[in-house]
Amino acid sequence: MTETNSVDRMHPNAPGVNQSDRLVPINLRQSGPTPVQMLISTRVRKSPFWHLSIEAGAWRATVYNRMYHPRGYVRPEDGGAMVEYDALINRVTLWDVAVERQVRVKGPDAEAFVNYVITRDATRIAPMHGKYCILCNDKGGILNDPVLLRLSDDEFWFSISDSDLMLWLQGVNVGKGWNVEIDEIDVSPLQIQGPLSEELMADLVGEEIRGIPYYGMLEAEIGGASVVISQTGFSGEKGYEVYVRDATLQAEAVWYAIRGAGSRHGLRVIAPAHHRRIAAGILSWGQDLDAETSPFQVNLSYQVPRKKEADYVGKATLEAQRDRIEAGDYPFALKMVGLKLGGKPITDYAPDFWLVQDDAGKRVGYVTSPWWSPELGFNIALAHVPYALSELGTPLRVELPEAYCEVSGQPVAAEVCDVPFRASENPSARERAMAKGRDSSD
């Protein structure tokens, strides 16, 4: 047996894809779906809404932040995730997102501490407002990209993505000794997303909701329970997040109140809409980025401000990275791009990081988040490719599973395109900056 055949038999981790700047390469072995039953155990937490999600028809789940996370309500034979997509973009939807665990930083030094651990300027966040932010390690790797909510002068909530941020924050403060308490609290969020979300929220909490701005917040009651509402979401559509206080006790009261009022607006309980967030260019931690990813690789340069004078974790490294990029020396092996690609419609989650080839057929990168866009009429994806292949219009190829191939065994044509693929209801700072033709990292 030749050496090549031996390597093929061992199913190599696509060694042609340059991941030399990572300590732990992304696993690019293409294994397909894993046909096993997920064990439901006490080692993994259930959200306060878990039983309600099951009651609403959740038939599959994943694990996120060491909690079970519903990822499907409409079964494939009934139209699957694309039926849920239709409800999101045309009506209004309810999501169980308690996996966005709430880490509270509270105390006299809360602002100073938060300002040290995020790259953006925490002093510019007014009480009862929030911001999307990132936290980096000293190497510039993104540890988490939460929504940060400021409840008051001395209280912040990190609504975290999929990593143990509380442990990091507590560890940072061991050496710094700021006068703050850092704890996870019994607050669990729900998302209400879709074009009719404002009408539903007005039914639930009154006309005041119409006046809160994007990333604005409101204290209210739903079903007799105390909640905090923010105009935020993971969809690119108009939407809100409802943070239920004392969620272990109040989950049912809030859930049923929302479903009851929502029936007048065609509310559907769905899984988080990754098909829509991809179109909006919204990233998913652990899928599109992780602790070995720099913000400059994934279109988050606006999260690294030029005018923030205060020190923060990773500042020196990130500023050095930006200086190299502006000098024409891109310091990373790969860069995130948007792709439009051929193939049959991708209408469900990808179980693998599908491989990207250059125009000559060499494997050079991988897709992180693909889906079909009904509005655009083609598949779209976020992908990591070499910087030299990141220019708009660059032709590439993607190795899709057999079910999505146009010709059996053949990669489909792809092309680097702009992100977002579809405009958001509330454009991000990056979207606004691109529209103005400038870098928004001031």
Mean pLDDT (whole number) for 417-432 = 77
The structural domains of the chain, with segments of one domain joined by +, span 187-266, 283-436
Helix ranges restricted to H, 129-243: 165-176, 197-205
Summarize pLDDT for 254-284 with one digit per residue, the tens. Answer: 999 999 999 999 999 999 989 899 999 999 9
321 has pLDDT over 90: yes
CA-to-CA separations, 305 to 122, 171, 439, in angstroms, rounded: 12, 25, 10
68 has pLDDT over 50: yes
Summarize pLDDT for 124-165 with one digit per residue, the tens. Answer: 999 999 999 999 999 999 999 999 999 999 999 999 999 999
Summarize pLDDT for 191-249 with one digit per residue, the tens. Answer: 999 999 999 999 999 999 999 999 999 999 999 999 999 999 999 999 999 999 999 99
What pLDDT sits at residue 424? Answer: 77
Residue 3: which pLDDT band, with cuts at 50, 70 and 90? very low
Q: State the DSSP string of 243-261.
A: EEETHHHHHHHHHHHHHHH
359 has pLDDT over 80: yes
Q: Any bridge partners for residue 147, and if so which?
A: 132, 159
Summarize pLDDT for 360-419 with one digit per residue, the tens. Answer: 999 999 999 999 999 999 999 999 999 999 999 999 999 999 999 999 999 999 999 999
When mean pLDDT is compared across 27-31, 306-310, 422-426, the lowest value belongs to 422-426
Specify the CATH architecture of the domain 283-436.
2-Layer Sandwich (3.30)
What pLDDT sits at residue 8? Answer: 47
Q: Which of 341, 267, 216 is nearest to 95 (CA)?
A: 267
**Rounded (5°) CA angle 113-117-121:** 85
Mean pLDDT (whole number) for 313-323 = 98
Q: Any bridge partners for residue 130, and if so which?
A: 149
Residue 340: which pLDDT band, with cuts at 50, 70 and 90? very high
Q: Which H/E stretch holds residue 112? A: helix 110-117
Name the packing angle between helices 165-176 and 110-117 (round to 10°).
110
Query: Is 241 part of any known ligand binding site?
Result: yes
442 has pLDDT over 80: no
DSSP state of 411: P
- β-strand 363-373 against 412-417: which pairing, if any? unpaired
Q: What is the CATH number of domain 187-266?
A: 3.30.1360.120
What pLDDT sits at residue 337? Answer: 98
* Two domains, one topology: 187-266 and 283-436: yes
- CB burial of residue 266 (10 Å; 0-12, 13-18, 19+): middle
What pLDDT sits at residue 212? Answer: 96
